[in-house]
């Protein structure tokens, strides 16, 4: 085998298309089998109704996805709207996998032009199916989400870049065709930016790829003129104008402004130039960009994700693929894939949003490319070694020619066969993750909200949750099915106003509106602020009106006032007694930490008889959220010892902070606030 002798014949485009189509169909069936059947929580639930209206999605707005979703849901009237949007993701996901095969075949073929076409195709199949069964990509392909369409743009951009800058000696394409493809690449980049702004992270790799390709072969761009460059820039910018959809659709978007009362207008989309710019640039998320917070824990998390997605074998093949780019001096390809991978990885490291794992999908695509290349490297190397070892020295020119043909034929048979076992990687990924990833039985949001919306709720009631994700299915049923459009669903941070910053303050605003207020799930920690009465599947929230039974004038370190307390002694049938103490707190100063409160029952000598302490407000409304001037009812339930003598006992209360396990910092001194008389019936 003479590695430098020749390249393999050009692959038949029709064959490539048929293989890619077959892979896409098989993957589509997989996604269809695991597809979510109905409405979902969180962002998928939002996209299911935003596309149907059409409306405005959360920043950065996703206008292209919204418009495509509107066309899809209205032109394909099969099944419920939510399912159609889930199906849209599956179609984009399957197309992405099919395109990945084409791009991977082209990629490995450029690195190993002398390798057998069949081997290149098997390596590309490994790449495509590995992406298809990647846990994160698969999970996004079966719900209404933006990431499979985003991935389709990423794969297309990489593929077009490879097509444009491939060697003319290999592709034999004219300069006019190359310019046409350059314009197409510019247009796809613009569409990608319109869909998901992280597409911009590809630009450093693309520019480096262009520069290195030009250095290696100046003929690639010798006929490109300033007009060509300008036309490419125009094609990049033109799709970005689709963002103008947002101010145009805002007046007809039903949730752009929510009216709680005449004095409480919640502006979810500010239809001004400032609001528009803030929305499309995602300024609400800029605080999550924290490079200073990156530490070993962050790197460890990313390492864990790498290992979970690909295992030791996959990561080893990735390194082999990367090394082969260096060994073969494929600097343009290394820049395109390696620099893009590094840029995306760096951004994801410093971006601390909760679902940053989905932003790793383009990273996993590039990793899969390197894994496919690593597989071909192993196959090519082993096949070459085996063929050379089995070859016998030829005695004349005729035998040399025959021997060369036999070696070539043996290599063509061996290299694809060596690659076949690598298909175990996506197969194992498929088998091991099918049950955990499948959304086929996920009807949780539908079942829960159908019960809620069937409740005899008063007209114009407010439904609250501490989580935005819970409310999206409600909006879906309101805007798509027109079920109870009179109800108002609220969640913390629905607007940037501090009055809606957490569920406690949100509850204040809801009660202030004088509408009936309900919690859609048990949030017992909010009993600190309001009475919660179970009503069917919901909890009616109402303001406390009664003053404390026992008034006090106790202060803790001038930061907290105890206005009074209520007490109730109850005796069970078995003779056991419980003492319920409700403390009426009022914050006098902002509290910077979360304090625990305690109630001690003391005898005449000051010895503790029983006690109870906890974190008032729990994690829902802890003390650092408390507002100056509001009264909070902090309930403690003490179990009395069974043989406690009937007499009068002192009640001591206080607060403390625990910065570290075993460390206690008191908020002033505990105070005796009253007495409790214990009697036996």
Residue 442 has pLDDT above 50, yes or no: yes
pLDDT band at 244 (very low <50, low <70, confident <90, very high): very high
What's the CA gap between 118 and 419, in Å, rounded? 10
Closest C-alpha to 539, from 468, 625, 633, 461: 461
> What beta strand segments (E) does 432-496 contain?
462-464, 488-490
pTM for this structure? Answer: 0.89
pLDDT band at 174 (very low <50, low <70, confident <90, very high): low
Residue 221 has pLDDT above 80, yes or no: no
Q: What is the DSSP letter of 10?
A: P
What radius of gyration do the chain's Cα atoms show?
Answer: 33
pLDDT band at 175 (very low <50, low <70, confident <90, very high): low
Paired tokens of 439: 């959304």
pLDDT confidence of residue 12: 79
Query: Comparing 394 with 527, which gets the higher pLDDT?
Result: 527
The residue to which tokens 């006690």 are assigned = 611
pLDDT band at 402 (very low <50, low <70, confident <90, very high): very low
Q: What is the mean pLDDT of residues 343-347?
A: 95
Beta bridge partners of 94: none
Beta bridge partners of 580: 568, 637
Paired tokens of 60: 């950065």
- Residue 185 contacts residue 157 (beta carbons within 8 Å): yes
pLDDT confidence of residue 371: 97
| pLDDT tens string 119-143 | 999 999 999 999 999 999 999 999 9
Q: What is the mean pLDDT of residues 331-347?
A: 95
pLDDT confidence of residue 279: 93
HSE at residue 517, side-chain half, CA atoms within 13 A, is 24
Residue 179 has pLDDT above 90, yes or no: no
- Residue 366 contacts residue 142 (beta carbons within 8 Å): no
Share of the chain above pLDDT 70, in %: 92
Q: Tell me which of 27-41, 211-225, 243-257 is least confident.
A: 211-225
pLDDT confidence of residue 394: 47
Q: What is the DSSP string of 499-529?
A: GGSSHHHHHHHHHHTTS-EEESS--GGGGGT
Q: What is the mean pLDDT of residues 434-460?
A: 95
Paired tokens of 440: 């086929």
Residue 232 has pLDDT above 90, yes or no: no
Share of the chain above pLDDT 90, in %: 72
Give residue 67's region: left, alpha or beta (phi > 0; psi -120 to 50). Answer: alpha
pLDDT confidence of residue 246: 95
pLDDT band at 219 (very low <50, low <70, confident <90, very high): low
Domain boundaries, the chain: 13-435, 444-543, 550-677
pLDDT confidence of residue 4: 43
| pLDDT tens string 286-314 | 888 999 988 899 899 999 999 999 999 99
Q: What is the mean pLDDT of residues 604-608?
A: 89
Residue 521 has pLDDT above 90, yes or no: yes
Query: Comparing 178 with 201, which gets the higher pLDDT?
Result: 201
pLDDT band at 230 (very low <50, low <70, confident <90, very high): confident
| pLDDT tens string 566-577 | 999 888 777 788
pLDDT band at 169 (very low <50, low <70, confident <90, very high): very low
Q: Tell me which of 173-177, 245-249, 379-383 is least confident.
A: 173-177
- Mean pLDDT over all residues of the chain? 89
Query: Comparing 396 with 503, which gets the higher pLDDT?
Result: 503
pLDDT confidence of residue 168: 47
pLDDT confidence of residue 223: 56
Q: What is the mean pLDDT of residues 419-447?
A: 94
pLDDT band at 6 (very low <50, low <70, confident <90, very high): low
CATH of domain 550-677: 2.60.40.10
Evaluated on CA atoms 410, 415, 416, 421, the torsion sign reads positive
Cα 138 to the chain's mean position, in Å? 13
Which class for 4: exposed (0-12), middle (13-18), buried (19 or more C-beta within 10 A)?
A: exposed
What's the CA gap between 505 and 593, in Å, rounded? 18
pLDDT confidence of residue 172: 45
pLDDT confidence of residue 5: 41
Interhelix angle 117-132/13-33, nearest 10 degrees: 20
What's the CA gap between 661 and 528, in Å, rounded? 25
């Amino acid at each position: 085998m003479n590695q430098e002798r020749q390249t393999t014949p050009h692959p038949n485009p029709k064959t490539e298309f048929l293989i890619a189509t077959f892979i896409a169909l098989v993957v589509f069936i997989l996604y269809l089998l695991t597809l979510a059947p109905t409405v979902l929580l969180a962002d998928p639930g939002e996209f299911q109704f935003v596309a149907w209206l059409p409306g405005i999605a959360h920043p950065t707005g996703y206008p292209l996805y919204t418009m495509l979703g509107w066309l899809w849901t209205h032109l394909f009237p099969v099944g419920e709207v939510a399912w159609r949007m889930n199906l849209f993701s599956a179609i984009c996901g399957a197309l992405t996998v099919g395109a990945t095969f084409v791009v991977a075949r082209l990629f490995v073929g450029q690195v190993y032009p002398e390798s057998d076409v069949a081997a290149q195709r098997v390596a590309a199949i490994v790449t495509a199916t590995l992406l298809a069964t990647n846990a994160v990509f698969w999970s996004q392909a079966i719900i209404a989400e933006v990431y499979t369409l985003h991935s389709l743009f990423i794969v297309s951009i990489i593929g077009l870049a490879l097509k444009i800058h491939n060697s003319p000696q290999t592709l034999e394409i004219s300069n006019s065709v190359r310019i046409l493809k350059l314009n197409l690449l510019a247009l796809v980049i613009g569409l990608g930016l319109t869909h998901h702004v992280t597409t911009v992270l590809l630009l450093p790799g693309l520019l480096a790829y262009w520069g290195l390709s030009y250095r290696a072969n100046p003929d690639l761009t010798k006929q490109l003129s300033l007009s060509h460059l300008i036309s490419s820039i125009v094609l990049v910018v033109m799709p970005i104008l689709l963002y103008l959809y947002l101010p145009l659709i805002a007046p007809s978007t039903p949730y752009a402004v929510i009216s709680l009362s005449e004095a409480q207008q919640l502006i979810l989309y500010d239809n001004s130039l400032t609001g528009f710019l803030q929305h499309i640039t995602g300024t609400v998320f800029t605080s999550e960009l924290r490079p200073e917070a990156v530490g070993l824990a962050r790197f460890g998390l990313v390492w864990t994700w790498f290992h979970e997605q690909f295992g030791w074998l996959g990561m080893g093949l990735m390194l082999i693929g990367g090394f082969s780019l260096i060994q073969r001096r494929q600097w343009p390809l290394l820049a395109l894939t390696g620099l893009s991978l590094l840029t995306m990885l760096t951004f994801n490291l410093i971006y601390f949003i909760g679902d940053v794992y989905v932003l790793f999908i383009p990273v996993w695509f590039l990793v899969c490319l390197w894994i496919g290349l690593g597989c071909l490297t192993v196959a090519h190397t082993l096949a070459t070694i085996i063929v050379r070892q089995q070859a016998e020295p030829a005695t004349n020119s005729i035998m040399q020619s025959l021997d060369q043909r036999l070696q070539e034929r043996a290599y063509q048979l061996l290299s694809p066969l060596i690659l076949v076992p690598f298909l175990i990687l996506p197969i194992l990924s498929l088998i091991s993750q099918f049950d955990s990833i499948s959304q086929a039985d996920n009807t949780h949001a539908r079942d829960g909200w159908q019960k809620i919306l069937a409740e005899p709720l008063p007209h114009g009631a407010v439904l609250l949750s501490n989580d935005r994700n819970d409310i999206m299915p409600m909006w879906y049923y309101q805007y798509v099915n027109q079920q109870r459009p009179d109800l108002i669903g609220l969640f913390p941070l629905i607007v940037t106003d501090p009055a809606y910053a957490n569920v406690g303050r949100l509850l204040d605003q809801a009660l202030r509106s004088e509408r009936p207020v309900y919690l859609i799930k048990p949030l017992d920690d909010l009993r600190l602020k309001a009475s919660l009465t179970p009503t069917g599947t919901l909890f009616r929230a109402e303001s406390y009106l009664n003053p404390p039974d026992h008034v006090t004038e106790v202060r803790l370190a001038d930061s907290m006032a105890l206005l009074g307390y209520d007490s109730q002694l109850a005796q069970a049938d078995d003779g056991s007694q419980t003492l319920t103490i409700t403390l009426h707190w009022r914050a006098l100063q902002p509290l910077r930490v979360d304090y625990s409160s305690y109630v001690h029952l003391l005898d005449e000598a000051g010895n503790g008889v029983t006690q109870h302490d906890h974190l008032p407000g729990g994690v829902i409304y802890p003390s650092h959220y408390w507002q100056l001037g509001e009264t909070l009812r902090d309930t403690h339930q003490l179990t009395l010892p069974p043989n406690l003598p009937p007499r009068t006992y002192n009640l001591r209360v206080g607060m403390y902070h625990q910065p570290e396990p075993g460390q206690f910092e008191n908020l002033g001194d505990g105070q005796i606030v009253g007495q409790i008389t214990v009697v036996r019936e």
